[in-house]
Amino acid sequence: MPAQKLPEVTTVACLLSIFLVPLAAAGLALMNVGLGRSRSAGHMMMASLSALAVAALAYFVCGFAWQGTIGSAGHALNLSGKYWNWIAAEPFFFRKVSFDGSIASLTALFQIFCVGLAALIPLGSGADRWHLRASCLSTALLAGWTYPLFAHWVWGGGWLAQLGVNYGIGRGFLDAGGASTIHVVGGLAALSVTWILGPRRGKYSGDGMAPAIPGHNAVLVLFGCVLSLIGWIGLNSAGAILFTGSEPYGTVMITINTMLAASASALTAAMVTKIRFGKPDASLTANGWIGGLVASSASCAFVSPAEAVVIGSVAGAVVIFSVEWFELRMEVDDPGGSVSVHAVAGIWGLLALGMFGQFQRPVSNVAGNLLPSTMSGMAPGQWLAQLIGVATLVGFVLPLTYGGNRLLNLFYPYRVSVEGERQGMDLHELGAGAYPEFVTHTDEFLPR
């Protein structure tokens, strides 16, 4: 492939936005820790650091080869005269990436952090009971296969991106900042993991009550929100530049939209919990904040600030009801709320793009060859493209992820022993507690 490049200033803006993305990982890791128990806190951080590392290496080894970038080598199916690009075929180990500021090299860098972020999402769901080794293997599967496959379809010139060109459905499936590739993919992995692991002991005691098991450190949870905001600014800005052809100037509105969506979502979540439970719930407000960020990711480049407020507000309410529905109706024990915050809010964000998205100018200079450049204003059928994307996520990616994790579970059982869970993950798996000098009372939530 010829090394396609962005203008120099755009490259620098994109690059420096990417540098901020690990703050989102730092934020999510702290939230997962804070929402779990103290006896598993060291384990959660260890699992988070390991997930970032495994994801980066797996993506380096084979993930990028299968994701590729627009215009890279790939395999295509010929369906009734149209080519459906379904997987890239770049060499492994970044061997053909030209590290001269090409779009491919920026994508490789960006994705190294994005896959890590996606890998943190299931950790929040598997808190307090997921083997470290198993979580590393599950991360390798996600970063080396599931994520790149779907990301190729969206960001690598694959068939979802081609829906516009091939069938005139909007501009094809669009996702500027990774609501689908990072968050829904990660959130569906989280759902698979909770199904495989089952709930924590003592969560559903059989008498119909599901006691809330509070997180052990609310300060970390809320601090994680602010760090995540900065990471998300980088995420949405870099993604919009790389994958939807935003100019650096466009990131001003993107950042405003990101902040407004998070703000509206958090306040809505606080108000909904206040109305339902009598008092606003800090953890759920934090989840609302992140849900707003997730929902903003898809459409941040294509909506007005006022629409971002609407998208955020809906996200906040959706997250709260989803958390409750999964916890009480589905008996999905998801300590970090990852399924609702990432998968559900992400799906909402994808659909919202179909509802509100406006395209002032051709989308995009990057994927320019894929899109009818004469369109402007609302794209006819964009909602359908988004719906097809969501259907693919739920109908294809979820089974794929569930199946893969189920298979891994056969060989490397995901769940720790009863004794290990009682003891806490820190002592059981790492041989040392996270807070050895602090006096804790840790038994009240376990069945006697």
Contact positions with a copy of itself (CB under 8 A) in 259-298: 259-260, 262-264, 266-267, 270, 277-283, 285-286, 289
The DSSP output letter for 345 is H
Rounded CA-CA distance 144/296 in Å is 26
Contact with a copy of itself (CB under 8 A) among 129, 131, 152, 216: 216
Residue pair 239/110 in contact (Cβ under 8 Å)? The answer is yes
- Interface with a copy of itself in residues 57-76 (CB under 8 A): 57, 60
Among 106-114, 158-166, 203-211, 334-342, which window interacts with a copy of itself (CB under 8 A)?
106-114
HEC profile of 58-122: HHHHHHHHHHCCCCCCEEEEEECCEEEEEEECCCCCCCCCCCCCEHHHHHHHHHHHHHHHHHHHH
**Angle between the N-to-C axes of helices 103-125 and 41-58, in degrees from 0 to 180, rounded to the nearest 10:** 150
Backbone dihedral angles phi then psi of residue 76, each to the nearest 5 degrees: -135, 145
Please choose, out of 76-84, 190-198, 210-218, 405-413, the segment that lies near a copy of itself by the rule CB under 8 A.
Answer: 210-218
- The DSSP bridge partners found for residue 102 are 5
Give the count of beta carbons closer than 10 Å to the beta carbon of residue 373: 14
> In the numeric block, which tokens belong to residue 51?
């997930």
Cβ proximity to a copy of itself: between 172 and 248 the closer is 248
Q: Which two tokens stand for residue 288?
A: 């609302």
Q: How far is the CB of 165 from a copy of itself (least distance, A)?
A: 28
Inter-axis angle of helices 103-125 and 132-141, to 10 degrees?
140
* Residue from the set 251, 382, 386, 409 that interacts with a copy of itself by CB under 8 A: 251
Q: Does 222 bind a copy of itself (CB under 8 A)?
A: yes
Minimum distance of a copy of itself from residue 361's CB (angstroms): 11
Task: Please tell me whether residue 366 binds a copy of itself under the rule CB under 8 A.
Answer: no
Site string for a copy of itself, 27-56 (x = CB under 8 A): --xx--x---xx--xxx-xx-xxx-xxx-x
Give min distance, CB of 41 to a copy of itself, in A: 5
Cis peptide before 364 (omega within 30 of 0): yes
Bridge-based pairing state of the strands 74-79 and 82-88: antiparallel
Q: How far is Cα of residue 208 from the mean position of the Cα atoms in its chain?
A: 32
Which one of 91-99, 202-210, 347-355, 388-396 is the stretch in contact with a copy of itself (CB under 8 A)?
91-99
Show the tokens assigned to 370: 């894929």
Choose the stretch contacting a copy of itself; rule: CB under 8 A; options: 178-186, 191-199, 252-260, 414-422: 252-260
Query: Do the Cβ atoms of 315 and 291 come closer than 8 Å?
Result: yes
Candidates 86, 145, 412, 435; binder of a copy of itself (CB under 8 A) is: 435
Task: State in angstroms the smallest separation of the CB of 283 from a copy of itself.
Answer: 8
Residue selected from 211, 214, 395, 399 as contacting a copy of itself according to rule CB under 8 A: 214
Applying the rule CB under 8 A, the residues between 305 and 324 that interact with a copy of itself are 305-306, 309
Tell me whether residue 194 or residue 237 sits nearer to a copy of itself (CB atom): 237
- Contact region with a copy of itself (CB under 8 A), list: 92-100, 182-190, 347-355, 410-418: 92-100
